[in-house]
Chains A and B, each alone.
Chain A
Amino acid sequence: MESKRFGRRDALKAAAGTALAGLAAPAVHAQGPMVLRYVGTAVNQHQGIKEKVREDLGITLEYMPVTSDDVVRRAVTQPNSFDILDAEYWMLKKIVPSGNLVGMDARRITLVEQITTVFTKGEVAGKTIGGQGTAPWKVMYLPGREARTFAPSQTDHLTLIPTTYNADTLGIRPDKIGRPISSWAELLNPEFKGRASILNIPSIGIMDAAMVVEATGQHKYADKGNMTRAEIDLTMKVLTEAKRAGQFRAFWKDFNESVNLMASGETVIQSMWSPAVTKVRSMGVPCVYQPLKEGYRAWAAGFGLPKTLNGRKLDAAYDFINWFLSGWAGAFLNRQGYYAAVLSTAKANMQPYEWDFWMEGKPAAQDIKAPDGTVMEKAGSVRDGGSFEARMGAVACWNAVMDENDYMVRKWNEFIAA
C-alpha cells in the first residue's frame, strides 16, 4: 500500500532530484571510472583484451563493432560518437581529408621507435615490401597536427598507431581439389566452375580480381591499388565474363558467410581472411590458406583519435594505445594469426613454441591452442605460408582506395547486375 501514497507531487520531486543529480554528475564522473568508446570492425574487439585493459589500466572499453564501410562513414559523418577509432590504413584516404582525425603526437607513444619497419619504411628484415595500393607507410604521417594531407616522409604526427596487419590470400579445400594450387589464376579456372567465390566488397574484391588478371598474363598493372579507368574496365570485364560463365557460386560479404560457404562445400576456392580459415579448420573441415606465387594482398589497421578528444579522455586514450603496444595485446593477436605492431614486446609475452609456430614458421612443438583453450593446430603442423618474413615479404599489394573509386564502385554494381 506504500505505492498508493506516492502521488504525482512525489514523482515530480523525485524527477527533480534525479535531474539535479544528473547535473551534478560530471564532477562525480571526473573521478570515476574512465570509459572509452571504441569504434572498429570486430577484428580487434576481443573480450579478453577488454578485461585485461580494465584490470591493468582501470579503463572500460565500450566496443562498438561495425562493418569496414561503416567505420569510414562514422569517422566522416559522426566524429563525436567515439573516443578511439580502429581503422584500416586504406580508409585514411577518405577520413583524413575530412579533418576529423588528429595527428597523434609521436612523443607520447613510448614504443614508437620500435614499431615494425613494415609500417615505418615498408621493409621486412631489410627487404622492401610490395607497395601497390594504399600501403601504410604512404599514409602513416601528417605534416602537422591538424593536417588534411599526408606527409611524404616521417614526422612527429601519426595518423594511426598500428595494431594488427596480415597478408591475405585464397582459401582452398585441399580434399575437394586434390592437386596443388600455386597461382591466383586458379580462382577463375573453369575447372572450379560454380565452386569459386570472391568478396562483394568492391575495394577488396577488385584487388583480388587484379591479382588474377595479372596471374593469367592479361595485363600488368602499374599499381593495382590505383587503376586507371581503362584498367578498371578490363578487370571488371574479366570478372563479368567469369560470372556469366557461372564461375562463382556466391559472393560473400562478411566473415561468417565465407566460413559457411567453405565449410558446407558450396565453394572449394575463394578469397578469404586468415581467421576464417582457422575457423573452418576448427570445425574439422580441411582448409588451407594457400600461399601463391604472385604474392599476398595485405591490410593493416591501427588506432586513430578524433580531433575533439581532450583532457583526461585524451590521456586515457594515449595510455590505452601505449598499453596495446606493450606486449600483452600483441601476443594475444599473434596467437590468432595476425601480426603485432611491436614484435619485441609481443615475443616477450608468448611461449617460445608459440613464437616459433606463428612467427618463425617452424613446426609446432606442442598443440597450439586458441585463447579459450581449444586446439587450433596439432603438434607438428606448420603455419600456411611459413614465417612472418616469408609472408609479409611476399606482399604484392595493399587494400586500397583508388583515385577512381566512384567509377570503380559504379562498375562493380554493373558487374553484380551482369
Chain B
Amino acid sequence: MPSSPDLAAAGGVPKAAPTAAPARRSWAPLLQSAPLWAVLLLFFVFPLLATAVVSLWDYTEYSLVPDVVSRNYVEMFEGCGDLSGGLCTTFRTYISTLRLCGMVWAVTLVLGFVVSYFLCFHVRSDGMRMALFLLCTAPFLTSNVIRMISWIPLLGREGVVNQALVALRLAERPQDWLLFSEFSVVLAFVHLYTLFVVVPVFNSMMRIDRRLLEAARDAGAGAWQTIWHVVVPLAKPGLVIGSIFVIVLVMGDFVTIGVMGGQQIASVGKVIQVQMSYLQFPAAAAQAVVLLALVLVVIAVMTKLVDIRREL
C-alpha cells in the first residue's frame, strides 16, 4: 500500500503538468487518489484501529466497558512466564497453529511448484496449457466447505479408505489417524490452498526467458541444477506471494481446523471465535492484534528476503 501515493502521483502529474501552477499540482494527485484512500481508511485502517482500541477495553458478561486496561493482554499471557508446568495455553495454541501452518506451507509450496513447472515447461502447446490450468481451478467451482467436508466420509473409521485398506489387507483394523487428526487438517488445507500457490508461481514461471534454460544446459547444467539455480530464483516472487496467501489463510482459519481436527486441535482463530461467541470481544480483539502482529512479522521477513515489487 505504501506505493499508492507514488502511483497516484505518477498518474496525476502528466495530466496537470503543462498548464497547472505548482500549487495546484500538489493537491490534484491527492484528490485523484482520494477514493482509494477513502476506501482504505474506511474498510482497512478504521476497523484495524477499532480492533486495537477495543482490545484495551474491559468487559462483563453482557457489556463492553470503554476503558484502557491491560487485562486482556495480561490474561492472554497468564502463566506464560512459568515453564515448570509446560507451556501456557497461548504459546501452545500459537505453536500448534504455526506447526500446522508450516506443514501446509511446505506441502503446498512443493506441490504448487511442481504443478506450475509441469504446466510451464512440460506442456508444449499454449491451448493445452490453458486447458490444464483451468482444470486446476475446477474444484473452486464448489464451496470450500463442501470440498472440506467431503473428506469426512472418505477418511472415517468406516469410510472408503479404511474399508479399502482392510479389504486389501494393508491394515488389520481401521486406522484412526486418517480423520480428526493433524493429518486430515493438513490434507484439507493442501486441497483447499494449493491453487493459491500454483497461480502466482505459474505467472512467475511464464515470464522466465526460455533462452536462459537453454543457456544453462549449454553451460553444462543438469536438470536439477537448472531448476535450482535458474528456475527457483526467477520464480521467487511467485513463491513468496503464494506463501503469503497460504500463511495468512491458515493462520486465521478456524473452520477447517475445527471440522477436520474434530474440534480437538487448538488454533488461534478458534480461540478468537470462542471468545466472540461468549461476548468477550475485547479479549478476542487482543488475540487478533497479537495474531496480526505475528503474521505481519512473518510477511515482513519474507518480503525482506525477496523484494516482490522489484521483481514484478
Most buried by A among B158, B159, B264: B264
Q: Does A113 contact B (CB under 8 A)?
A: no
Interface residues on chain A, size class: 35 or more
Q: Is there contact, CB below 8 Å, between B264 and A250?
A: yes
Q: Of A81-89, A329-337, A338-346, A409-417, which stretch is located at the interface?
A: A409-417
State the Cβ distance, B117 to closest chain A Cβ, in Å: 38
Q: How far does the Cβ of A363 sit from chain B's closest Cβ, in whole Å?
A: 33
- B62 near A98 (CB under 8 angstroms)? yes
A residues less than 8 Å from B271 (CB atoms): 413, 416-417
With an 8 A cutoff between CB atoms, is A293 at the interface?
A: no
- Asked if A412 and B274 make an inter-chain contact with CB atoms under 8 angstroms apart, the answer reads yes
User: Is the Cβ of A406 less than 8 Å from the Cβ of B266?
Assistant: no
A401 within 8 Å of B (CB atoms): yes
Contact A94 B61 (CB under 8 A): yes
Chain B 72-116, CB-CB to A under 8 Å as 1, else 0, gives 000100000000000001001100100000000000000000000
Rounded to whole angstroms, the CA-CA distance of A409 and B272 in the bound complex is 12
Is A145 an interface residue, CB under 8 A from the partner? no
The answer to whether A405 and B61 have CB atoms under 8 Å apart is yes
A265 to B278, Cβ gap below 8 A? no
How many angstroms from the CA of A156 to the CA of B222 in the assembled complex? 89
Expressed in whole angstroms, the minimum distance between the Cβ of A24 and any Cβ of chain B is: 34
For residue A69, CB closer than 8 A to chain B, the reply is yes
Chain B contacts for A410, CB-based, 8 A: 75, 89
A417 touches B263 (CB 8 A): no
Q: Tell me the dominant secondary structure on chain B's binding face.
A: loop
Which residues of A, 368-418, contact B by the 8 Å Cβ criterion?
401, 405-406, 409-410, 412-414, 416-418
Shortest C-beta distance, B155 to chain A (Å), equals 10
Knowing A250-B262, A414-B89, A416-B270, the reply to whether A409 touches B275 (Cβ < 8 A) is yes
**Interface-centre pick from A248, A412, A416 (highest chain B CB count, 10 A):** A416
State A70–B158 Cα separation when bound (angstroms): 34
Task: Give every chain B residue within 8 A of A73 (Cβ-Cβ).
Answer: 277, 279
Contact of A200 among B159, B179, B263 (CB under 8 A): B263
Task: Give Cα A248 to B20, complex, Å.
Answer: 73
Q: Within 8 Å of chain A (Cβ to Cβ): is B5?
A: no
Q: B63: CB under 8 A from chain A?
A: yes
The size of the chain B interface, using a CB distance under 8 A, is: 31
The CA-CA distance from A265 to B162 in the complex, in Å, is: 13
| Given known contacts A250-B263, A413-B89, A194 and B176 CB-to-CB distance under 8 angstroms | yes
Is there an interface contact between A202 and B156, defined as CB atoms closer than 8 Å?
no
Query: How many Å lie between the Cα of A409 and that of B158 in the bound state?
Result: 34
Q: Please state if B93 and A67 are interface contacts (CB–CB under 8 Å).
A: no
Query: Which chain B positions have C-beta within 8 A of A273?
Result: none
B75 contact set on A, CB distance < 8 A = 410
B92 close to A72 (CB less than 8 A): no
Whether B152 lies near A401 (C-beta < 8 A) is no
Per-residue A-contact encoding for B46-63, CB less than 8 Å = 1, 0 else: 000000000000000111
Chain B, Cβ-Cβ closest to A95: B62
- Whether B89 pairs with A409 at a CB distance below 8 angstroms is no
Assuming the A-B contacts A70-B277, A98-B62, A98-B63, are A250 and B180 also in contact, with contact meaning beta carbons closer than 8 angstroms in the complex? yes
Nearest chain B residue, comparing its CB with the CB of A246: B176
Which residues does A use to contact B, with CB under 8 Å? 67, 69-70, 72-73, 76-77, 93-95, 97-98, 194, 200, 202, 243, 248-253, 260, 264-266, 401, 405-406, 409-410, 412-414, 416-418
7 A–B contacts from the bound complex (CB under 8 Å) = A93-B61, A97-B61, A251-B263, A253-B258, A266-B157, A409-B274, A413-B89
Given contacts A72-B279, A265-B156, A409-B280, 18 further A-B contacts (CB under 8 A): A70-B277, A77-B279, A194-B176, A200-B263, A248-B262, A249-B180, A250-B180, A250-B261, A251-B263, A406-B278, A413-B271, A416-B266, A417-B89, A417-B92, A417-B96, A417-B266, A418-B92, A418-B266
- Of all A-B residue pairs in the complex, the 7 with the closest CB atoms, nearest first, are A250-B262, A417-B266, A69-B277, A251-B263, A414-B89, A200-B263, A98-B62
